[in-house]
Amino acid sequence: MTFPPPTGTDLSAESPVFDLSIEGAHIASASGLKRATLAIKDGKVAALGGPGENLPSLERIAAPGCVILPGLIDVHVHFREPGLTHKEDFASGSAAAAVGGVTSVMVMPTDKPMTTTPELFLEKRALAEGKSYVDFALQAGLGPDISHVKSLKDLGAISFEIFLADLVAPILVSTGEELRQCLRALSELDAVAGMTPGDDSIVAAHTDTTMTGQTESRRAFLASRPPLAEALGLARALVAADEYKVRLHVRQVSTAQTLDVLRRFKRPGITAEVTPHNLLLEDLDVLKMGPRAKVTPPLRNRFHLLALQQGLRDGMIDMVATDHAPHTPDEKSQGEIDLWRAPGGFPGVQTLLPLMLLMVEKGLIDYSMLVNACCEVPARTFGLFPRKGSLGVGADADLVIVDPAKPMTIRDEEQLSRAGATPFNGWRVGLTITHTLLGGRVIARSGQLVGTASGRFIRPS
């Protein structure tokens, strides 16, 4: 199948009413697939016509047999700017998002310096503007100092990130009283707490860095974060959150025990995310691939993987987010023999949609679950719906066109992240992303970036 370029002229006799129409495709929504013609005007979805209906437009994309999805929203990326731009920056990270079909990103505060004050928040926003290819929201870091919460909320912080483990002062929230103060402050402003659960004391007791051989260090790293550390951290956080009925989003659920804790405490206002790698890779992959697959929380065994897939299907896990956490190939290669020497994390924003499509292809989820988990629920949770997350009339025309008749292979050399190497290198997916549109304009076509960096700052409504 070929797509004419979006500059093709409408030859119909009627005078064009819309800027662009996409014809012949099925539109995916949280309620399933429906054939329709979609028309765009002034960057918004302007009309949804019946199959084959002629919506007179200046430009057309013929997409017979294709599927149109709302642009994906990745609620968990690290773009490393400011301070760590040898690993990634807003341009490289957002370019990877654009070719991968992700049109909005929420950027974590763990850069250098961390995004914890109004001044740092505004500086970061200025760095991204004019450089980001996709729309972006910024998260603020929240440690024991809660004095900036109101001003950061006023500036549009999309969430406030609380880390119970794996970070150091001034951002680590290590005591129950600090946690209580943070959650109370967020509750008063009706802001979202992003919670990275864990327990440093358990991690410290299980971390044996004297195991330095190739196999030994890989096994020792996997053993350093027992499921109990994550589950215990989450239980503390959820009990505290209940006290103040604060909106709380749980980051990176990686174990069956954590899911059990969620089942006990879930209520409206509590949401949870899982990463594609925790849904599709297992601990054995760390033994095989070493630093390429090193990530925190670590990959778990098949029992946890299957529990997480089920948790996504039954709605206990609300969304899929990547924890896109790039490091340079050189930094990663330091851990080839001794895994402790490599940093944890790898790129993910470009492979999110291909991997979700693979899950659809394998029958693990369907299109409505994909749209729920990667578009609609993220938009609703963080106050962006209905502008983002759906293709209803009036929504931003952020969308992805996928061709189910064309397979693709994920390859290191095609990753636009500065990290390059992905643990999914060589994976085949039966579908290809042909177009990504942001605000009605094509920003990527068949894996190639087109156009300029037109991403805008977005904030909760």
Q: How far apart are alpha carbons 203 and 213 in whole angstroms?
A: 20
- Per the listing, tokens 């609620």 go with 75
User: Which segment (121-129, 148-156, 278-286, 317-325) binds Zn ion by CB under 5 A?
Assistant: 317-325
Q: How far apart are alpha carbons 392 and 404 in whole angstroms?
A: 23
Per DSSP, 308 falls in state: H
The strand pair at 192-196 and 160-163 is best described as: parallel
Nearer to Zn ion, 57 or 196 (CB): 196
State the nearest-atom distance from the C-beta of 421 to Zn ion, in Å: 18
User: Which segment (32-40, 52-60, 319-327, 400-408) binds Zn ion by CB under 5 A?
Assistant: 319-327
381-440 binders of Zn ion (CB under 5 A): none
Contact 87, 418 (CB under 8 A): yes
Q: 170 preceded by cis ω (within 30°)? A: yes
Does 81 participate in binding Zn ion (rule CB under 5 A)?
no
Q: How far apart are alpha carbons 158 and 155 in whole angstroms?
A: 9
Nearer to Zn ion, 19 or 199 (CB): 199
Does 282 participate in binding Zn ion (rule CB under 5 A)?
no
Nearer to Zn ion, 283 or 323 (CB): 323
User: Which segment (29-37, 172-180, 282-290, 316-324) binds Zn ion by CB under 5 A?
Assistant: 316-324
Does 323 participate in binding Zn ion (rule CB under 5 A)?
yes
15-44 binders of Zn ion (CB under 5 A): none
Q: Which residue is nearest to Zn ion (CB)?
A: 323
Q: Is 283 annotated as catalytic?
A: no
Does 338 participate in binding Zn ion (rule CB under 5 A)?
no
CA-wise closest residue to 110 among 132, 148, 86, 142: 142
Q: List the catalytic residue out of 19, 200, 318, 323.
A: 323
Nearer to Zn ion, 178 or 323 (CB): 323
Does 88 participate in binding Zn ion (rule CB under 5 A)?
no
Q: What 3-state DSSP class applies to 222?
A: helix
Q: Tell me phi and psi for residue 457, to 5 degrees.
A: -70, 130
Does 200 participate in binding Zn ion (rule CB under 5 A)?
no
Q: Around Cβ 158, how many Cβ atoms within 10 Å?
A: 23
Q: How far apart are alpha carbons 206 and 451 in whole angstroms?
A: 49
State the nearest-atom distance from the C-beta of 297 to Zn ion, in Å: 10
State the nearest-atom distance from the C-beta of 431 to Zn ion, in Å: 27
Q: How far apart are alpha carbons 209 and 222 in whole angstroms?
A: 12
Q: Collect all residues with Cβ–Cβ distance below 8 Å to 41 and sequence separation of at least 6.
A: 17, 18, 19, 440
Nearer to Zn ion, 199 or 323 (CB): 323
User: Which segment (80-88, 318-326, 334-342, 417-425) binds Zn ion by CB under 5 A?
Assistant: 318-326
State the nearest-atom distance from the C-beta of 214 to Zn ion, in Å: 26
Beta bridge partners of 70: 399
Enumerate the active-site residues: 323
Give the residues lining the site for Zn ion (CB under 5 A).
323
